[in-house]
Each structure stands twice: as C-alpha cells, then as structure tokens.
Structure 1
Amino acid sequence: NVNLSGNFSLSELKGFANDLKDEFESIYEVSKVNITGITDREVKVYLNPFKMAAMQVSFTDVENAVKFENMSISGGEAKIGKIDRSVRIIGEFKDPRQIANIIVKRDKGNIVYMRDIATVVYGFKERDSYSHLDKQPVVTLQIVKKSGENLLSTTSQVFQVLKEARQSKMIPDNLKITITNDQSDMVKKQINNLENSIIMGVIFVVAILFLFLGTRNSLIVGFSIPMSMLIAFMVMGLADYKINMIVLFALILALGMLVDNAIVVTENIYRFVQRGYPVKEAARQGVGEVAMPIISSTATTLAAFLPLVFWHSIMGEFMKYLPITLIVVLTASLFNALVIVPVLFVDFYKPGDNNPLPKTKRSLRLAGLFSVLAVIAFVAKWNVLGSLLVVAVVLGLLNLAFLTRLAIWFQKVFLDWLENTYLKFIRFAIRKNNAYWMIAGTFLLMILTIGFYFGSKPKVDFFPSSDPKLINVIAEMPISTDIRVSDSVMQVIQAEVYKLIQPDMNIVKSVLTVTGKGAVGQNEGFTSRGGAPNKGIITINFVDFQDRHGINTFNIMRRLADSLIGRYPGVNISLEKQREGPPVGYPINIEISGKEFGTLLRVTDSIKALINRNNIPGIEGLTMDLDIGKPELLVKIDRDKARRFGLSTGQIGDAIRTALFGKDISDFK
C-alpha cells in the first residue's frame, strides 16, 4: 500500500494518486491498482420536495429530463451533393452548471427549470470510508501483483516509480508517502536468513571438518551445501515451484542435514586412503561400502516427511511445500554425496594433505591476491563476493598462523584421548551385569520422560506466537450507526490509543485508522463482511524486532485490551495481533443450527451473553457471523387507495428509495 498524506486537500491527494496509478499500472507485473480513502466525483442534484409538490413535478420527470438531455446519439446519414455524411447529435453535458438550466416540465405554457426545484453541486460521492494515517487524512493506492510474478521485482519497480515521480516533480516534495503492508520485507528477510545460514553453515562445517580431515577435504564437504541447493533449485524450477515463505523455511531447515551424507562418504574415502589405497581406488571402495547405508538413511528421513504431502484441506495446500522441498533438497544432497563428492576428492586430494604445515610464501601471495580482488569487488558494489573474499583472506591468515597446528594437535592428541576414553566406557558398559543395568536405565529414562510429558500437560499451539509486528484494535458500533458518527467515535478511541502507546512511540512505525469500508481484521469471521459503516479498525505497526530495544509488544497489547475493552458504552472493542501461519480461522467455533430463525437468533444471543458474563480467561473477543438487531421501518401499502391514484407498489417503492437514498440516472464525463 502506498499512502499519500500531507497538507493537501482530498481532491489534490486524489489527483496525485491518479497520476501515480497510471505509472504503477504501466509496470508489467502489476495486475491492478485500487485507490481508497476518497470517493469519486459526481454531480449531485438536491431536490426540494416542497417545490416539486407545488409545481407538480415527480422524480420520474427529473430523471427523464436529465437522461434525455445528457446523450449523444446517431442521426443516420445525410447526402450532401455526392458525399454521404454521418449525422450525430451531441448533447452530453460539458459543465455541471448546464444541468441547472434544463427544462424539467412544460405544462400549459408554464416552464419548470431544474434550478427552480433543485440545487446542482459538483462534488464527491457520499463517503463509505474514512482513513487516517498518523492522525492525518490519507489516500491509499493498493497495488496488486499479477499471479506468479516476482514480488521483489515488482516492489523494486514500484519504489523506482516513486523515486522518478519525485525527481520529475510529478508529486511535490512535501507530499508524505508511507509504505504499509509491504510483503516483500518478509521475503527479503527470509532470503537474507537463507543466505546467512548457507554461508555460516559452510564456514562451521569447514571449520569442524578441518580438525578431522584437513583443509582440502573439509572444503570438499563444505562445497556440498551450495551444490545441493543449486541442484534443488534446478529441480524446483523445472517443476515450476515458486519461492515462498514455506519453501524458504524448508531450505533453512534442510541446511543441517545437507552435509550428513557428504561427511560419511568423505570420511570413508579418507579412511581407505590412510590404509594405503590409491585415491581413485579409495574413492571407489569408500563410496561402494557406504552407498546402501546412506541411501537407506536418507530414505527413512524422506519417509518421515512424505505423509505431509497428502495433507488435505487448506492446511495441506499451505504446508505441502515443506515436505516437497525437503524431499527434493535431501535427494539432491544424496546425489551430491554419491556422484559429485568422490569426483572432487579424486581431483583435489593430495597425499599427506591431512596435516601439512602451510607454505608461508604461497599463502601470503594468495592472501594478497584475494585482498585485491575483494577491493575490486567492493568498488564494483559486489558486496557478497567481496565479503566472501575477505572471509577467505582472514581464514587463510589464521590457517597460516595457528589453525593447521591446532588441527595436528587435535588429531594426534585430543582424538587419541577421546578414543581411549570411549573404549574404557564401552568396556565398563559390557562388563558382567552392567549391560543389563544400562538397558534398565534406558527404559526407566524413557518411562520418566513419557510420564513427565503427559503429567505436565504442555500447551499445544498450531503455530507458535511471537511478539506481534502489528496490533489491530477493532471497534463495532450498534447496527445502522451512520459512518460519520462511527468515524467520530473512532477518533476518540484513536486519541486514547495514542495516550496508551505514548511511552513506546519510539518503536511504533505507523498508526492507521480506517472506518467503514476496508475496516477489516484478520480473522475469517470479520473479514468476510468487508467492513461496514458501524465498524472501524486501528492498526498499529511496529518496527522490526531488532529495533525494539527489548520492548515486548505483547505487553502493549495487554495494556490496550485492559484499558479499552468495556470502556465505551455501546461499542464492542476487541484486539487481535498479526496472524501466524495459514488462515485457520478462530481457535474455537460454536455452531448453532435450528429451523426457526427467530429462535435461533435468541438462543445465539443468550449463549454469547452467557459466555461474556462468565469472564472466561483467554477470550479476547467474542463475535457472531451474523448481525442482528438492525432497526427497520416497515411501509405497508393500501393497494386500493394506491390504485385510485394510478400508482403501483413498484412506483411507490422507487419513489421512496429515490427520496431517501438517491438514484444514479446518468453519467457526466
């Protein structure tokens, strides 16, 4: 959402919004752009019923007068000499003031003009919503992306349009532009997390394996992480799988399992090399010996995730990307371990590479070369490549200083001590009756674990809750409340919200207040109605978690709930936080069915009142999916009297609706 605000009139904001809308819609990835917060312009004809009655003018007379004057029609063709000319009658209004001068009725020489019975105003439609961003009126452009298009690319082009609009003075410098509901932020963070996890995973894997296998062998295993990811991306690309939140989560989850097979294969090949086998023969023997075990091990892991693919309902559609991604990535890691790792080992392994002391001159030359390349990369703004080169230089220098000697000590001293300690423990465990005590202790620990789990009755939550990124304060006034009254109530609630969050304003990014259309929360029961004139919502957006200085937004939510709920008579206030995971609806739904609709409403209302009276802990908002109690006026027509005046029920109903609600009778272009 692109929100426009500032010291401008609504019509000026609407003009800026229309200009930006044209630019946004020229982006290929954008499907449509909706403008909210202001209504379209229209010509309003305010009729005086008393003057109409005095001059015997009906609504139908006014409607026909405007319709038949505001039109352009074809008049056929006229033959002028030897040329046929098309004839077109131009009658559309070019100025709203022309409407005031049309003749509505002519009777016995008496002419009634529109200006005699009405006032013509060129303004805006009656508002069905009010929006305020940080206490200022706001016009919002809702940008909708085409299905399947790249979200990050679309967002980047939107920001580029805004930048160019500033530079070209299409929009003034003092126009405030606020971006809300930017879904690309979360995607960027997840991608950054994935990149950081891959880099850190490679570094830690190489560092740990360096102690066991030496420099080259550890690099070979570390290479399996990006290689497995590359293979997985190729397969998912061929299957037309898009990168989404669940796929990114699955990739991060799979990082810890990617190197398992490569470690086993590399270690076994290295074992054969230590036994004196040639490198190629060691690779053949090493892979052949562990191929079936790692295949079966990977298959059991995949089997654990496979049932999730067949998960039904909307949750299945949402979660199926998790098992599919894990299956693809782990299969890619198996292929990498059995095919690619042996080849790399044969090509890059050198005898005695497990603990050689580094060659100082060569290491320093490589460090200097990588440093120069890193500087060039940073100058060219290839920051990722530059960072990787800096890491390589640092690791190389550390290796030159002490890492290789540390690896030698680890292999010669620490591993020997660890093996001897392990052998002593095994001898103790299998001595005489000790094995039985070990088995009994294992079963006892299992029983205690199961008993503790069921005895403590741990809470179950489908998706874990975290500090909310946004909080919605939802207010519902009585049915049929005028939208202007609802907006005035929302202003009072908004002022109180600002007082309550004032101590923590340093972590509040924006406060958006919407009344009427668009005032919808996240829960299914509320969003399904799309807002109403008697409803409003205040959305509090917070800064990112790392910028909150330890402030818990849950506490802010509880503070708002304690102060606002039940404070305003006749106003039902509830709070909700940002929903985690897929749309699963309410935690608890009570369905009430019956044959008599009136009885059904009374029972439902009594159950709702009963739950509210008991003050059950944990219930923050109790709502029904049906609005009841809306007052209405019933008009009963005396058909005999209506016939005497030549009126039908349809004519009377149309006249009443026109008098109360108005009627669209023509288009002003």
Structure 2
Amino acid sequence: IVVDDAIVVIENTHRIFENGKVPIAKAAKMAAGEVFLPVFSGTMTTLAPFVPLAFWNSLIGHFMFFLPITLIITLLASLVVAYIINPVFAVDFMKPHVEGEHNNLKFDKTVRKVSIVMAVIAVLAYLINFGLGNFVVFAWVLYMLNHFVFVKWIDKFQNGAWPRFQNWYAGILEKAVRSPWWVLAGIIGLFFLSIVFTAIRSPKVEFFPEADPNFTYVYITMPTGTDQEYTNEVTRKLEQRVADAVEPDKDLVKSIISNVTVGVTDPQDEDQGSYPNRGKIAVAFVKFGEREGKSTKAVLANIRKAVTGVIPGAQISVAQEHGGPPTQKDISIEIAGDDLDTLTKTATRLKNFLIKQNIGGIEELIPDVQDNKPQIVFTVNRERANREGINTGQITQALGATIYGAKAADFRNTTEDNYEINVQAKEEQRHDIDAIRNLKITYRDFATGGAIRQVPISAFTTIEYKNTYSNIKHKQQRRVITLGSNVIPGFNANEVNQQILQSVNNFKKPEGVTIRQGGGQEDQVEAMTFLLSALGVSFMLILIILMMQFNSFGKTFIIISEIFFSIIGVFLGISIFGMTITIVMTGVGIIALAGVVVRNGILLVEFTDLLLEQGMSLHDAVVEAGRTRMTPVILTATAAILGLLPLAVGFNIDFVGLFTSFEPHIHFGGDNVAFWGPLSWTMIFGLAFATIITLIIVPCLYLLRTRLKDRIAGRKHDEYAAVSKEELAALNHH
C-alpha cells in the first residue's frame, strides 16, 4: 500500500518518457502533474477508513490503536516521497532503452568495477562479522544474476508478454463495453450469489483469533478456608497427572511450573491477591518453529481430560494464554438483582438447569461469588462491656493488633532513617481461637480510682462461626453474580453462546432478577457496533473526497460501487476455502479494503476524463484508459497482495541464521498468522476481485453513466466519432 503512489508516478513517467522521445526532466514534471490529483485523492481515500479506527474507545480499540496511526503517518510520508523524491530519482536513473542492448551482455568494465568494489567491501565485512560478509557476497550474486539473466527476462516480458496481455485485455474490454448492461447485471447477480453461497457454506464466526497455545494453565480452587499445605498437596498430585498427560508429547513441552497461594489467578484478572485455597499449574511449550507441525491444542485437550473431576470438591479449569487485548471469558452469564440470597439461589438453579441441557463446549460453569467463605464473628455484650468501662473500639483495636499487628514505635538510626516497629501476637497464637478469646484487654478503670486492669475478651463477647459471601460485585448499582466458563477447543464460542441464550430464555427467573449474556459476547456486540459505524463514517469520508475531486455524483457512484462489489471477493474467498470469520480482524480488513480499492478507480476515471477533454471518442476513451492504466492498477494490487501474503500464510525466515550459519529455519504458521491472517486474507481476496472490477466494471459503468446523462439532457452523442487514439498520440507528441 505504501508503494502505490510511487508506482503510479514512476509508471506514468516511464509511459510519457517513451524511451527517450520526451526529455526525462519534462516527462517527470508532466507525469507528476498529470497524476497529482488522482494520487492525492487515492491516498486520502486510503487514509479515510483508518481515521475512525483511531478513535476506537475500548480495550480492543486501545490494542489496535497503533495500526491506524502507523498507516496514516506512513501513507502521508509516501505521498511526499511520490511527489518530490521519486521524480528526482526518475531524472537521475531512467535511461532510454536501446533495442538489443541486452542480447550480448559481457563482463565489461562497469561490471568489473562493481565486482572489485564489492569484493573489497566483502573482505571488510568478513573481518567484522561472518554473516555480514555473506550478505555482501549475496548482494553481488544478485547483481550478477540481474546483469546477465534477469534483464533479459524483463526485456522479453516488457516487449513481448506484457504488450500481448494488454492487447488481450483490450479485446475483452472492447466486448464488455459493447454490452455494458449485461456486464452490470452479471456483477450484481454475482454479488447476491456470493451472499447466498456464504449463507449456505455458513463459515464459523469468532470474536478474536486464537492461535495454538504457547502456555496452558490449570487453575485449582479448593473450598474457601482450605489450608495452604493441603492445597499444595492437591496441586502436586495434579501436577503429576499433567506430567503424565504430556508425556507422549514431551518434545513440545519446555517446562511445568506450579504455584500455590501467590500468582494463582489469571494474569488478565484485576484480582491478583494471595489465596491459600488456590493453585496454578503452568505448562510452557517450545517455540512454534520447533514443534515440527504438531499442534499444542491436542496437548491442552489431554491435560483437560487428565485433571477434570479427579479431586472431589475442587473447581478445576484449563485454559491457554490470552493473545491480543484483554478479554473476558467466552461464556459469561450475568445474574443481576438486589437481594443477594435470591441471586445466589438463582445462580445455583441456573447452573444446574444448563448442566441438564447438556450443551456441548462448556468446560465448567463457575460462579464468581462463593457463599461458603468462613468467618468468626465476635458479638460484644455492650451492657457488660460498659460495666467494665470498655468500648467496642478498644476491642476492635486489640483484635486487629493481635492478628495483623500494630505500630508500637519508630526507630531512627544514626543516618536518620526512620523504621516502624510493629508488634503482633505469635503465629501459633494468631491461629488459635482459644488464645484469641483469652486475649486480655488492658485499660485504666477510672471507676476504681484509675487502677490498671486486664480483662479477657471472652468476658464480654460471644463467638459465632458463620459462612458469608465473597467478593460481591456491582454493576449499574445492582448486585451481580456471573457464571463463567471457557469454551472447550473444537467448539465455536458463538454457537455455544447461542444455545445457552435459547436455554436461558426458557429458564424461570424470580421477580426482580435479570439474566443477560456478558463477557466475550458483550465485547463482540460492542466491537461489531463500532466496526459498522466506522464503515459508515469511512464511506462518508470517501464520498466527500470523491465529490471534491470530480464534482460529479455519477463518477463518485462509479468508484464507490467498487467497495460493495469487492466484498464479493471476500465472501467467495472465505466460503470457498472454509475460513473462519473473525469479527475484529475481518471487520478491520473490510474497512481498510474500502479505502484501498477506490484508488485504482480514481486513476481510471480521471484518465478517461482527460482523454475525453483531449477529443477522444467516448468508446475509445474508456478502452484506452483501461489499457493505459492497466499497468499501474495491476502493479499496485500485486504489490499489496504480495506484501500481505507472508502475513496470511505465516511465512517465517531467520535472515540472521541464513547468512551466519546457512540455516534459515523456514516455517509457516505461528501466532502472527492466527492474528493477522484473517485481516490479510480479507484484503487479498477483496483486492484480487477489485482489480477485475476496476479494469472491466468501471469502464462499463462510465459508459452507462455518460449515456444516461446525455439521454437526460436530451443530447445525442456519437461514441465513435472523435479524434482517434493515433491522432491523439501524434498531437500529444507534437
């Protein structure tokens, strides 16, 4: 995309230069001036779709923020380069082509000089680094291949194959513009056919792309109040089961590490506290390039099978690391209300109800609120405490100091550093309820003349053992309990959530309680809403830019129609190859595609206008414009597609290893292809089809638009009676 402007300017310069018939300096000025407006408008329409993406105000939007910003800055810079730097380079390096100059290539003086210079550079490079020296030698080999081989191939292609291809295309375009209505009807029919075909194929839809796991986590949650030592024993047993499960694929596993109490929550959770009743087992896999084509998703499935349901009373979940922006669980059912007891009972009923529905893909529905958190309640007998001259504040302070400690004094050393001195009960006393009950409160009894007395807490308190709720959450001023679960690999999260929604609609809930789907589904709806609005804003911005350039609704409609018809390629490509539609990346790809595809349409329409102004007939103008602009149209589309292909297929090569040890470590796939693949394939399919639209449909639409305009105005227009392209070429040369 970045080189598109340079391609258009240089190709136009080469066309006008026409092998030295026009001085290169004059040709460069004419070429830059001729395409100034279309190149500027094309760049602005390419930028337009990325402007609303820069204002995506969400976690995903913040994650994607640098994509639109980087593209906007880079494309603006490419515009400056195309207008200023490229014409200067053209004047310096573009030389007339002498026919037959590449037929008898020799190891001449120029080649010898270049070889000597590069040999010296290679020797110096080898002294610095072996890989750097190899790189210089590789550059020399490329130079020699270009001088003795590639230039011959390029010469044959430019003077043989390419002109024949241009003439072939011109013949097809001649037939198309003679039956423009049939061409238009065909493309409209193909548009609806692609929609129907996509509906029949029904590709899977997911919110965000998910790659093979690099890490797999086993989360263990024991009943609240479980001792840390017991949690550690359970975690060790599960760790052994995990080790046994990965034994057949041990070459994929780098390490297995267990945690208890600390670092046991999901890294993306806000809650990163310490929990004695929790544990976590982390399985790290080797790099993608070292897996020899094996999938770690199968290992994750084996781990899940090995640990599920083996520890009674424990909640065990297995998940992979989250790629991309922080997102909530795929399955998240929010139960909101005011009465906490009603909410907990409803959550339990709903969980059991969904289990009975036997919906595939649900790992385990776990509520985020537990009602079995143990606590010890000290109830103060105020009457007795008042008789002793003690208030509840003193009791609370004494208990807090015993269990958590209290500041007793400050210590300052000779360097004037200040240290707090904290005092608390011994550890064995802090964990002994009898010792706490016998804790003596020291106070001064003014009723007996200020004598100092000590009274145990048990003298005026009673103790109760109760269970209470843990971490109660609120949303929009209402209490909320969330049932969350991961989706088992192999199942589609959207399909599972759709089945859950149907079941929830049949669930009888109490008065005052609302049930809705949140989490990943909520994020997905929000993302889809924004992307649709961003597409609408992009469409309006492109419309404004085109209207400012052409001042014609008809010409603007011709170019805008490319956006809709290019989606045919996206639908057909995804459906034919059975790809998955990812809401975020496919959506961003379609929005980006909207700006890219109109660029070539601008070039074609603008050049057709120029030929008509110079006196060429309507028929010849649309055909000649297509034939002339075919080169930059195909070049820009090919450059974009080739640039996207490595991202689409996940092509990886280690250039440092290639030149230092001759081991390039080439492989395909990985995290990048999972993330960027949907966006890349969307743009590749759309651009490939948009190229056909530009070269065939745009000339036909231009012809129909002019005919319709003349008919409305009551003018009779002879499409063939005008200056021929040969006469026009002679006039231009003159």
TM-score between both structures, scaled by the size of structure 2: 0.52
Amino acid in the other structure paired with 1:288: G
CA gap of 1:376–1:283, structure 2 versus 1, over 3 A, is same
Cα distance, 1:368 vs structure 2: 3.7
Structure 1 counterpart of 2:281, from 510, 516, 538: 538
Amino acid in the other structure paired with 1:350: K
Structure 1 counterpart of 2:137, from 385, 390, 395: 390
Cα distance, 1:521 vs structure 2: 1.1
Alignment of 1:574 with 2:317, yes or no, is yes
CA gap of 1:443–1:459, structure 2 versus 1, over 3 A, is same
- Give the aligned partner of residue 340 of structure 1: 85
For 1:355 and 1:381, locate their aligned partners in 2 and report how far apart those are by CA, in whole Å. Answer: 42
- Give the aligned partner of residue 478 of structure 2: none
- Give the aligned partner of residue 224 of structure 2: 479
For 2:385 and 2:128, locate their aligned partners in 1 and report how far apart those are by CA, in whole Å. Answer: 85
Structure 2 counterpart of 1:636, from 353, 358, 379: 379
Amino acid in the other structure paired with 2:127: V
Alignment of 1:528 with 2:271, yes or no, is yes
For 1:615 and 1:661, locate their aligned partners in 2 and report how far apart those are by CA, in whole Å. Answer: 47
Answer whether contact 1:355 1:404 (CA < 8 A) is retained. Answer: no
Amino acid in the other structure paired with 1:374: A
- Secondary structure of the residue aligned to 2:282 is strand
| Deviation digits for residues 19-44 of structure 1 (CA, Å, limit 9, x no counterpart) | xxxxxxxxxxxxxxxxxxxxxxxxxx
For 1:621 and 1:288, locate their aligned partners in 2 and report how far apart those are by CA, in whole Å. Answer: 66
Alignment of 1:466 with 2:214, yes or no, is no
List aligned pairs for 1:255-334, cutoff 5 A.
257-274=1-18, 276-334=21-79
Amino acid in the other structure paired with 1:260: D
For 2:384 and 2:163, locate their aligned partners in 1 and report how far apart those are by CA, in whole Å. Answer: 111
CA gap of 1:264–1:451, structure 2 versus 1, over 3 A, is same
For 1:439 and 1:582, locate their aligned partners in 2 and report how far apart those are by CA, in whole Å. Answer: 43
- Give the aligned partner of residue 304 of structure 2: 561
Answer whether contact 1:367 1:396 (CA < 8 A) is retained. Answer: no
- Give the aligned partner of residue 417 of structure 1: 164
More displaced 10-residue stretch of structure 1: 647-656 or 293-302: 647-656
For 1:523 and 1:408, locate their aligned partners in 2 and report how far apart those are by CA, in whole Å. Answer: 58
Structure 1 counterpart of 2:115, from 350, 356, 367: 367
Cα distance, 1:465 vs structure 2: 1.1
Alignment of 1:377 with 2:147, yes or no, is no
For 2:358 and 2:400, locate their aligned partners in 1 and report how far apart those are by CA, in whole Å. Answer: 44
Cα distance, 1:553 vs structure 2: 0.7
Cα distance, 1:292 vs structure 2: 0.9
For 1:426 and 1:653, locate their aligned partners in 2 and report how far apart those are by CA, in whole Å. Answer: 90
Cα distance, 1:486 vs structure 2: 0.8
For 1:460 and 1:601, locate their aligned partners in 2 and report how far apart those are by CA, in whole Å. Answer: 33
For 1:354 and 1:485, locate their aligned partners in 2 and report how far apart those are by CA, in whole Å. Answer: 87
- Secondary structure of the residue aligned to 1:589 is strand
For 1:618 and 1:531, locate their aligned partners in 2 and report how far apart those are by CA, in whole Å. Answer: 31
Task: Please list every run of 5 or more consecutive structure 2 residues that lacks an aligned counterpart in the other structure.
Answer: 409-420, 424-734
Amino acid in the other structure paired with 1:272: I
Cα distance, 1:539 vs structure 2: 1.1
| Deviation digits for residues 564-597 of structure 1 (CA, Å, limit 9, x no counterpart) | 1222111111111111211122234332222222
| Deviation digits for residues 204-251 of structure 1 (CA, Å, limit 9, x no counterpart) | xxxxxxxxxxxxxxxxxxxxxxxxxxxxxxxxxxxxxxxxxxxxxxxx
For 2:354 and 2:380, locate their aligned partners in 1 and report how far apart those are by CA, in whole Å. Answer: 43
For 1:643 and 1:425, locate their aligned partners in 2 and report how far apart those are by CA, in whole Å. Answer: 104
Answer whether contact 2:263 2:272 (CA < 8 A) is retained. Answer: no
Answer whether contact 2:221 2:316 (CA < 8 A) is retained. Answer: yes
CA gap of 1:445–1:667, structure 2 versus 1, over 3 A, is same
Task: Tell me the matched-pair count.
Answer: 407
Amino acid in the other structure paired with 1:544: K
List aligned pairs for 1:90-489, cutoff 5 A.
257-274=1-18, 276-352=21-97, 356-357=101-102, 358-361=105-108, 362-381=110-129, 383=131, 386=133, 388-431=135-178, 434-489=179-234
For 2:199 and 2:66, locate their aligned partners in 1 and report how far apart those are by CA, in whole Å. Answer: 31
Amino acid in the other structure paired with 2:321: Q
For 1:652 and 1:531, locate their aligned partners in 2 and report how far apart those are by CA, in whole Å. Answer: 27
Amino acid in the other structure paired with 1:605: T
Cα distance, 1:366 vs structure 2: 1.2
> What's the Cα RMSD here?
2.7
CA gap of 1:407–1:656, structure 2 versus 1, over 3 A, is closer
For 1:458 and 1:417, locate their aligned partners in 2 and report how far apart those are by CA, in whole Å. Answer: 40
For 1:258 and 1:667, locate their aligned partners in 2 and report how far apart those are by CA, in whole Å. Answer: 64
For 1:306 and 1:646, locate their aligned partners in 2 and report how far apart those are by CA, in whole Å. Answer: 71
Alignment of 1:618 with 2:365, yes or no, is no
- Secondary structure of the residue aligned to 1:472 is strand
For 2:180 and 2:249, locate their aligned partners in 1 and report how far apart those are by CA, in whole Å. Answer: 61
Cα distance, 1:641 vs structure 2: 4.5
Task: Please list every run of 5 or more consecutive structure 1 residues that lacks an aligned counterpart in the other structure.
Answer: 1-256
Cα distance, 1:297 vs structure 2: 1.0
For 2:298 and 2:331, locate their aligned partners in 1 and report how far apart those are by CA, in whole Å. Answer: 24
For 1:583 and 1:316, locate their aligned partners in 2 and report how far apart those are by CA, in whole Å. Answer: 11
CA gap of 1:387–1:296, structure 2 versus 1, over 3 A, is farther
For 1:658 and 1:317, locate their aligned partners in 2 and report how far apart those are by CA, in whole Å. Answer: 45
Cα distance, 1:321 vs structure 2: 1.5
- Secondary structure of the residue aligned to 1:566 is coil
For 2:67 and 2:99, locate their aligned partners in 1 and report how far apart those are by CA, in whole Å. Answer: 39
For 1:372 and 1:613, locate their aligned partners in 2 and report how far apart those are by CA, in whole Å. Answer: 78
Cα distance, 1:427 vs structure 2: 3.3
CA gap of 1:627–1:367, structure 2 versus 1, over 3 A, is farther
Answer whether contact 1:514 1:536 (CA < 8 A) is retained. Answer: yes
Answer whether contact 1:509 1:542 (CA < 8 A) is retained. Answer: yes
Structure 2 counterpart of 1:514, from 259, 275, 286: 259
Cα distance, 1:287 vs structure 2: 0.8
For 2:158 and 2:304, locate their aligned partners in 1 and report how far apart those are by CA, in whole Å. Answer: 61
CA gap of 1:539–1:285, structure 2 versus 1, over 3 A, is same
CA gap of 1:322–1:484, structure 2 versus 1, over 3 A, is same
For 1:429 and 1:640, locate their aligned partners in 2 and report how far apart those are by CA, in whole Å. Answer: 101
Answer whether contact 1:308 1:316 (CA < 8 A) is retained. Answer: yes
Amino acid in the other structure paired with 2:17: V
Amino acid in the other structure paired with 1:298: T
- Give the aligned partner of residue 654 of structure 2: none
Answer whether contact 1:309 1:320 (CA < 8 A) is retained. Answer: yes
- Give the aligned partner of residue 177 of structure 1: none
Structure 1 counterpart of 2:344, from 601, 609, 617: 601
| Deviation digits for residues 285-312 of structure 1 (CA, Å, limit 9, x no counterpart) | 1111111111111111111211111212
- Secondary structure of the residue aligned to 1:418 is helix
- Secondary structure of the residue aligned to 1:581 is coil
Amino acid in the other structure paired with 2:57: H
For 2:71 and 2:100, locate their aligned partners in 1 and report how far apart those are by CA, in whole Å. Answer: 36
Alignment of 1:585 with 2:328, yes or no, is yes
- Give the aligned partner of residue 645 of structure 2: none
For 1:390 and 1:528, locate their aligned partners in 2 and report how far apart those are by CA, in whole Å. Answer: 56
Cα distance, 1:363 vs structure 2: 1.5
| Deviation digits for residues 466-513 of structure 1 (CA, Å, limit 9, x no counterpart) | 111111111111011111111111011111101101112222122221
Where is the helix percentage greater, Structure 1 or Structure 2?
A: 2
- Secondary structure of the residue aligned to 1:583 is coil
For 1:618 and 1:374, locate their aligned partners in 2 and report how far apart those are by CA, in whole Å. Answer: 60
- Select the structure with the greater relative contact order (CA < 8 A; seq sep ≥ 6): 2
| Deviation digits for residues 46-78 of structure 1 (CA, Å, limit 9, x no counterpart) | xxxxxxxxxxxxxxxxxxxxxxxxxxxxxxxxx
